Structure 1
Amino acid sequence: MSEGTSSSIESSFIESSFIESEERRELRASVAKLAQRYNYVDYVLPRARRGEPLTELWNEAGKLGFLGVNLPEEYGGGGAGIYELALVQEELAAHGAGLLLVVVSPAICGTIIGKYGTAAQKEQWLPGLADGSKIMAFGITEADAGSNSHQITTTARRDGDDWILRGNKIYISGVDQADAVLIVARTEDAKTGKLRPALFIVPTDAENFQRTQMDMDIIEPDHQFMLFLDDVRLPADALVGEPDAALMQLFAGLNPERILGAAMAVGMGRYAIDAAVKYANERSVWKTAIGAHQGISHPLAQVKIELELAKLMMRKAAVLYDSGDDFGAAEAANMAKYAAAEASIKALDQAIQTHGGAGLTEEYGLAAMLGAARIARVAPVSREMILNFVSQHSLGLPKSY
């Protein structure tokens, strides 16, 4: 690579990561304007307490083109990248209106179908995923496999031209809102007897497809489900991509999942800091606003620094992914998700501490958001598995699991 080429790439990376274009700044402003109308206290939290999805926000975000900003223009998307979708998610979450299904439907499923789906699958699903009129959930996790996706036992076997799926999934988000679930199953290699991963589009109204809502002890508008596939029959065209290439196809969706998860965490952290700063400027106990005291200001300043660092890593991950650097994106996406989760949890905890007793009241809803933010430490991948990844792939240490 010539010095000129290297300098050009570096310049492009710096511009994409640190200095957002006017178009991106306008997108941020537009999303923020929408999120202000569907804000946390007046809209999101009341619906979450009732266990109701954020349907109105989802529909309007779809009509405005925000949900499909990363999907191809020929299918109704914005033709941009994961960077722009992460931007949308961050700005929504910064007003307490982050959409969990943005992580799943356009980021994971839309990306995978856009890259590996057939022409018919793209035509059937991408326009709806882009405008929000269709939602696709994602089913990989199993009770006995946990973080070891190589151990999933949901199987797909041939029956003539059809596929028959059998197995169970757990912690699958938003199935009640979805038209279909992109299921990760395993096909059997007739020659070796080994099971290989494969991806299937399973309509939620398919015969023998059952779901059970899980009882979660957090306040969220989106529900988690256990899925039961008891010999679900699917046509041949339900298979996405190649039956023995799904591991590569799977990771095409998991890196965006981590980046979008980081974006949601960064947004929640921003919301927490904004709420804490507002309260610290208004609350006066000893003649001056409590924000003047270093016991309040320094912890908030520290959290601000940590959140901005996480945001930079999230941007780096998005730029690397959009540029086609899969390995670099995987490393950065894992680091971004780790850093953003830790920073957002710390930000919310400090926001509650800044508010004192008021931080635990329903009026502010910060304790409820802390429970939601805590999810980022364990999903979509636990911080321990991220540390395993960094130990092995970034540091070159022996594999420990």
Structure 2
Amino acid sequence: MDTEDHKALREAVSALGKRHGRGSDPTQLWSEAGKLGYLGVNLPEEYGGGGGGISELSLVLEELGAAGCPLLMMVVSPAICGTVIARFGTDAQKQTWLPALADGSRLMAFGITEPDAGSNSHRITTTARRDQDTGDWILTGRKVFISGVDIADATLIVGRTEDARTGRLKPCLFIVPRDTPGFGRRLIDMELNAAEKQFELTLDDVRLPADALVGDEDAGLLQLFAGLNPERIMTAAFAIGMGRYALARAVEYARDRQVWKTPIGAHQAIAHPLAQAHIELELARLMMQKAAHLYDAGDDTGAGEAANMAKYAAGEACVKAVDQAVHTLGGNGLTREYGLAQLITAARVARIAPVSREMILNYVSHQTLGLPKSY
């Protein structure tokens, strides 16, 4: 349940969201949210953040979503990249990036997905090798479906380096500034009405200084999952906010729309599915809060299970809420005026990204239930 501080933060962010509303300029909203301290609530105070955790940041994104103006880059910039740098970055990397990520003056994208790897991070082929003469890193590879690269100052790229002892490849994270030579991007034409664009990236012998590496070269998956758990929690927040927005529009319509003697919301065929949607969103929110609490308490293993479950539950609840909202409005649900039709596509994002519901079911089958793997 929300603390008093959380309730106050919800009210303040909700008021900001309502001032901007659906269809507002996300750049302006990002800037204002940053100045008010909402983008950096999870980052350390000594670097300009709020000193809170993913609990607070997910709350901010949920409330902006419920007001109709979610900021997708919150999932990426402060949640993934800010968290990884705060936990594993050098002092110089923290000084360079965290204050700017916290106040919104700089953005960072995150590049993990590859055309041929999909959900299998062990198949990532973007490689990083050392130049023995200079100590530089040289990155080669491709990434796909990377959000906001055009507006981000840098992208945190997941590459793989060769373990000198075993010869096996292990994941490592690198900060790649947007205009680095050899770092190319191509816009992907998406059937998705979103402010943030999706890109395919190419890294063609991208040369980076030694200090572009974030964290320990040998930490591998530990550092990677430090960013992926917040990503799942924040995706849940994104979905819950969107579902709440759609549900609120439907409830408002059902209260006012009168065809026979009473508003259509009096009919159980309309009312009950909306009540079910509300229940499922609230249940998903509880799991999201549990996941955020575990993560903020330092329980990475417990948070991994809860974050996956929260993301699954929120994605399902969001899709159902949006579908029911559109049905409630009938033909009006497909008009631009009411703004729900575009959510039909957007809601599916929470089912697909950053990990599909099928892979979450695999995770729960193996990790929670102890069933054998099929792959």
What TM-score, normalized by structure 1, do the two folds share? 0.92
CA distance in 2, matches of 1:200, 1:120: 14
Give 1:242 deviation, angstroms.
1.1
Partner of 1:131: 103
Report what 2:15 is aligned to: 33
Deviation at residue 192 of structure 1 after TM alignment:
2.6
Please report how far the alpha carbon of residue 369 of structure 1 lies from its aligned counterpart in structure 2 after TM superposition: 1.3
Q: Distance in 2 between matches of 1:398 and 1:91?
A: 39
Of 68, 71, 83, the residue aligned with 1:111 is 83
Aligned-pair CA distance for 1:94: 0.3
1:24 aligns with 2:6: yes
Q: Deviations over 1:305-336 (max 9, x none)?
A: 11111010000001111111111111110000
What is the deviation of 1:135?
A: 0.4
**What is the Cα deviation at residue 382 of structure 1?**
0.3
Aligned counterparts of 2:321 and 2:165: Cα–Cα separation in 1: 54
Per-residue deviation at 1:21?
Answer: 1.8
* SS of structure 1 residue aligned to 2:59: helix
Correspondences of 1:272-287 after superposition (within 5 Å): 272-287=246-261
Paired residue for 2:279, among 300, 305, 317? 305
Instruction: Name the amino acid aligned to 1:87.
Output: L
- Consecutive unaligned residues of structure 1, counting only runs of 5 or more, are 1-17, 48-53
Alignment of 1:1-400 (within 5 A): 18=1, 20-40=2-22, 43-44=23-24, 54-159=26-131, 160-400=134-374
Question: 1:165: how far off?
Answer: 0.4
Q: Write the distance in 2 (CA, Å) between the matches of 1:390 and 1:363.
A: 41
Gapped runs of 5+ residues in structure 2? Answer: none
The residue aligned with 1:14 is none
Give the paired residue count. 373
> Offset of 1:246 from its aligned partner?
2.6
Contact 1:111 1:252 in 2 (8 A): yes
- CA shift at 1:168, angstroms? 0.5
TM-score by length of 2: 0.98
Aligned residue type for 2:20: Y
The answer to whether the 8 A contact 1:388-1:400 is kept is no
Of all paired residues, the percent bearing the same amino acid is 68
Deviations 1:85-135 (A, max 9, x none): 000000000011111100000000000000000000000000000000010
SS of the aligned residue for 1:201 comes to strand
* Aligned-pair CA distance for 1:193: 2.1
Whole-Å Cα distance in 2 between the matches of residues 298 and 376 of structure 1? 24
Q: Distance in 2 between matches of 1:192 and 1:339?
A: 40
> In 1, distance between residues paired with 2:374 and 2:74?
33
Deviation at 1:25, TM superposition (A): 0.9
